[in-house]
Amino acid sequence: MNPAGTGAQSIAELFWWMCGGGLLIWAVVMGIALYATQAHPEAHGIRSARWLILGGGIIFPVVVLTGLLTYGLMLMPPLRSTTDIDLRVDVSGEQWWWRVSYQTEAGAVVELANEIRLPVGERVAFSLTSPDVIHSFWIPSLGGKVDMIPGRTNELMLEPTETGTFRGACAEYCGTSHALMNFAVVVMTRDAFDQWLAEQAKPAQQPETELQQAGQQAFLANGCGACHQVRGTEADGTVGPDLTHVGSRLTLAAGTLPADVDAFRRWIGHSSEIKPDVRMPAFGMLSEAQLNAMAHYLKGLK
Ligand code: CUA
């Protein structure tokens, strides 16, 4: 209803035409129904009644539906065109988060999670897949949704027309925490986007305070690096989200929590209470002091 991309614009137009057409036809049908309750049966001969049934029951729907189908099909080729692609983003839907990878101009792959940033006015090709079950990738403000199916890669073209922060969601039931699988989409100017991508490509910041150092030690000592990568440290797991710049993200746990220190602490200690059936075990056996130190370390990974 509030498009900020060319795909969403076409879908909104189609929706309003359908809505207006549906309303008009509903009004006409209701008018005829009302008339039928009032009219005398003798007022119409058998011939005119036949014509009414033929016209209203067959000819009219065929004409209207053919028109709408043609209009709907005509909207599709420009939305799916793969020419003039400015940027490619790979996204994998996983239970219950989003693995996002960009390629820099130097050819390096930058992986992050649950956040997508795009330059405004440029055509983006998304390659969508999944390693576990079927998910569906949907940014309502920018365009239509496309399924992410294990074993195949689907393509989706989007072109944002406005800067701002939009919400993306999983639109296919994929297990217990399907509703807790969201992501932020930030559309920015080309310069700001380039700067952001260059920052994301860098290795992680070293801890600055003693508290952050203690947090890094606890992070490495408790085996977090078996699932998570923090580039520039010995943590090189690939099962879970890349945390190299997790402190710079807008949300935590795929749009479930705000990205503040308190949320990091709660998430590490109580992950399964916040997101039922989540793969990451809750580290409730850690002391409050350790959880606090880890939260400060992770928030510091800007
Ligand atoms: Cu992933 Cu629903």
Q: Is the pTM of this model over 0.85?
A: yes
**pLDDT in the model for residue 246:** 95
Q: Is the CB of 178 under 6 A from ligand 1?
A: yes
> In which band, very low, low, confident or very high, does the pLDDT at 78 lie, cut at 50, 70 and 90?
confident
**Is residue 265 located within the same domain as residue 188?**
no
Which atom of ligand 1 is found nearest the CA of 135? 1
Cα atoms found within 13 Å of the Cα of residue 245, Cβ hemisphere only = 19
Task: Say whether 183 sits in a helix, a strand or coil.
Answer: strand
**pLDDT in the model for residue 225:** 95
> In which band, very low, low, confident or very high, does the pLDDT at 46 lie, cut at 50, 70 and 90?
confident
Ligand 1, atom 1, lies closest to the CA of 135
Q: How far is the CA of 162 from the centre of ligand 1 (A)?
A: 27
**Is residue 51 located within the same domain as residue 144?**
no
**Is residue 219 located within the same domain as residue 183?**
no
**Is residue 282 located within the same domain as residue 193?**
no
Q: Is the CB of 181 under 6 A from ligand 1?
A: yes
Q: Is the CB of 204 under 6 A from ligand 1?
A: no
> In which band, very low, low, confident or very high, does the pLDDT at 117 lie, cut at 50, 70 and 90?
very high
**Is residue 173 located within the same domain as residue 226?**
no
Q: How far is the CA of 16 from the centre of ligand 1 (A)?
A: 28
Task: Say whether 287 sits in a helix, a strand or coil.
Answer: coil
Which atom of ligand 1 is found nearest the CA of 181? 1
**Is residue 196 located within the same domain as residue 262?**
no
> In which band, very low, low, confident or very high, does the pLDDT at 105 lie, cut at 50, 70 and 90?
confident
Q: Is the CB of 135 under 6 A from ligand 1?
A: yes
Q: Is the CB of 174 under 6 A from ligand 1?
A: yes
119 closest CA partner among 136, 98, 102, 135 = 102
> In which band, very low, low, confident or very high, does the pLDDT at 52 lie, cut at 50, 70 and 90?
confident
Cis omega before residue 51 (within 30°)? no
Which atom of ligand 1 is found nearest the CA of 171? 2
List the domain range (segments joined by +) for residue 30: 6-79
295 closest CA partner among 265, 257, 259, 258 = 265
Q: Is the CB of 172 under 6 A from ligand 1?
A: yes
**Within a domain: 1:** no
Count: domains in the chain: 3
Q: Is the CB of 93 under 6 A from ligand 1?
A: yes
> In which band, very low, low, confident or very high, does the pLDDT at 119 lie, cut at 50, 70 and 90?
very high
Which atom of ligand 1 is found nearest the CA of 172? 2
For residues 278 and 269, the answer to whether their CB atoms sit within 8 Å is: no
Q: Is the CB of 170 under 6 A from ligand 1?
A: yes
Q: How far is the CA of 134 from the centre of ligand 1 (A)?
A: 7
**Within a domain: 195:** yes
Q: What is the pLDDT of residues 195-215, one digit of tens each?
A: 999 999 999 999 999 999 999
Which atom of ligand 1 is found nearest the CA of 93? 1
Q: What is the pLDDT of residues 130-185, one digit of tens each?
A: 999 999 999 999 999 999 999 999 999 999 999 999 999 999 999 999 999 999 99
CATH number for 258 = 2.60.40.420
Which tokens go with 225? 């690096």
Q: Is the CB of 117 under 6 A from ligand 1?
A: no
For residues 299 and 247, the answer to whether their CB atoms sit within 8 Å is: yes
> In which band, very low, low, confident or very high, does the pLDDT at 192 lie, cut at 50, 70 and 90?
very high
**Is residue 70 located within the same domain as residue 99?**
no
**How many C-beta atoms lie closer than 10 Å to residue 277's C-beta?**
11
**Within a domain: 215:** yes
Domain boundary among 36, 63, 79: 79
Cα atoms found within 13 Å of the Cα of residue 137, Cβ hemisphere only = 32
Which atom of ligand 1 is found nearest the CA of 95? 1
**Within a domain: 285:** yes
**Average pLDDT value for residue range 189-194:** 96
Q: What is the pLDDT of residues 5-38, one digit of tens each?
A: 999 999 999 899 889 988 998 999 999 899 889 8
Mean pLDDT of the chain, nearest integer: 93
**Within a domain: 106:** yes
Domain boundary among 57, 79, 101: 79
Strand segments (E) across 140-228:
146-148, 154-158, 164-170, 182-188
- Say whether pLDDT at 41 is over 80: no
Domain boundary among 158, 179, 201: 201
302 closest CA partner among 217, 211, 200 = 200
Q: How many helices (H) and strands (E) does the chain have?
A: 7, 12
